[in-house]
Chains A and B, each alone.
Chain A
Amino acid sequence: MRSKLLYGSLVIAILFYFVSVFVLEADSAALARYHITDTQLKLLSLAFAIPVAVTWFVAVYSIDNMGKYAARIRVTKEGKGIRLLLWGLYVLGFGVAVSSLMSRSFTHAVDLYIMNQSALTIIFSKFGLVYLFVCFLLFFLGSRRLLKTLKKVEIPTWQYFAVTLSMLVIAVSYVTAVLSNPSRTVATGAARFATYALPDWLIMTTVVLPYLVAWTLGFYAVLFLRAYQKNVAGVLYKRALNKLNTGFIIIILLTIVTQFISAISPVLLGWVVMPILLLFTLLFTAIIAGYVYVALGAKGLTKLEEVT
């Protein structure tokens, strides 16, 4: 039943996305920026739509497999932790899909004067922040819960230090990138819309700070997942868990990278089409790899619970 609902929602979302590529009017600013025709832009959008659809499919496949594993170990010590990680995946998958669909219709809603552009920008960026925050919080809680199922685990101090140092580097880079974005409050140059449409103090308190907290939770989730894998017993269990953890770590780190890229998105607008396509292809491939690892890990762990 859950699988049918998941794959049914996937088909509807993909159909909606593909229809929007062909039905919605081409963005005139994009046509002028890249010196391409309406048909060429639609084909280009289609080139983006295919990897998007593949990513969604793989994400649903991994959520489905993780769901089967979570159901299988529902009443065990690890059940709660795995369920929290699964809910994190649900939030991420749902959030990414809704964001993509929102961004498809975003430009057109503004063109049709359905909503004020600044209001839409704020709603869009806040939605991205909320789902990411909830997702990373669930990953953090789930991984901590898993770690607590082990009797004695000590995470070396240097690992906490490494996380703190990484977060400091990321925080400085992120704040610098945000503040050097000329379109952060008002659209300038090639950018058609402001990235945040907020004054600097509100960008710092309602965007940058929550993202930094969310990423810190993400890093801690990675730390806890690694510690759990290192300390848990079972050669075969560890092999399956290794795939699951690798997938989660890829997904968490790439989500951070994606957000970082969106902070410097006005820089990307100045690029020609090929580097943008290449960058997105690389990101999509890596994200797909992350979801595939989660799916394989969950399948392996489910097999351990089913074999007789």
Chain B
Amino acid sequence: MGTGAKNNAVYEQVVEVAHAYLGPAARRFVSREIEAHLGKKPEQLTHSDLVTLHDWCKPAIALLTDDSKIVDEFSANLLAIAGEGYE
């Protein structure tokens, strides 16, 4: 991933949320999700992509744990940066 992605504030916010769950694997996870499901490069992520990104990321996190609290918390944190109206 180039430095472009690191200059993208939205992308960095998503990585920060994922970091609390996936640690060093977070940046790679978010980049994969963006490329695989949004068909974009990480540096091209925009605020309007966040809800769709959330819809893909949540089941992916659910595949990693049976703990629904973690999945819900991750989902809420990601939606929080997506903006109001997505409780």
Residues of A in contact with B (beta carbons under 8 Å apart): 73, 76-78, 149, 232-239, 241, 301, 303-305, 307-308
Contacts and interface: CB of A to CB of B under 8 A. Distances in A.
B60 A234 contact: no
A38 B61 CA distance: 59
A233 B28 contact: no
Contacts, number: 58
A74 to B, nearest CB: 12
21 contacts: A73-B28, A76-B24, A76-B28, A233-B20, A234-B20, A234-B26, A235-B21, A236-B22, A236-B61, A236-B70, A237-B21, A237-B24, A237-B25, A238-B23, A239-B65, A305-B25, A305-B28, A307-B29, A307-B60, A307-B63, A308-B60
Contacts of B33: 308
B47 interface: no
Interface string B2-23: 0000000000000000011111
A308 B22 CA distance: 13
Given A304-B29, A308-B36, A232 B21 contact: no
A239 B25 CA distance: 13
Given A149-B24, A234-B26, A237-B24, 14 more contacts: A73-B28, A233-B20, A234-B23, A234-B25, A235-B20, A236-B23, A236-B65, A237-B22, A301-B25, A303-B63, A304-B64, A307-B29, A308-B37, A308-B56
Given A149-B24, A304-B64, A234 B19 contact: yes
Nearest to B22: A234
Contacts of B32: 308
Summarize B's interface: helix, strand, loop or mixed: helix
B60 to A, nearest CB: 5
Contacts of A307: 29, 60, 63-64
B64 A303 contact: yes
Question: Which 9 pairs from chain A and chain B are nearest by CB?
Answer: A234-B23, A237-B23, A304-B25, A233-B23, A308-B36, A234-B22, A307-B60, A236-B21, A232-B23
A227 to B, nearest CB: 14
**What's the interface size class on B, roughly?**
20 to 34
Most chain A beta-carbon neighbours within 10 Å: one of B20, B29, B64, B65: B64
A34 B60 CA distance: 59
A16 to B, nearest CB: 40
A307 B26 CA distance: 11
Contacts of A233: 19-20, 23-24
A190 B26 CA distance: 59
A57 to B, nearest CB: 27
A75 to B, nearest CB: 10
Contacts of B22: 234, 236-237, 304
Most chain B beta-carbon neighbours within 10 Å: one of A77, A237, A239, A305: A237
Nearest to B27: A76
B24 A77 contact: yes
A28 B25 CA distance: 58
Nearest to A302: B25
Nearest to B73: A235
Contacts of A236: 21-23, 61, 64-65, 70
Contacts of A241: 23
Contact of A234 (B24, B56, B63): B24
Contacts of A308: 32-33, 36-37, 56, 60
Contacts of B21: 234-237
A305 B23 CA distance: 11
A303 B29 CA distance: 10
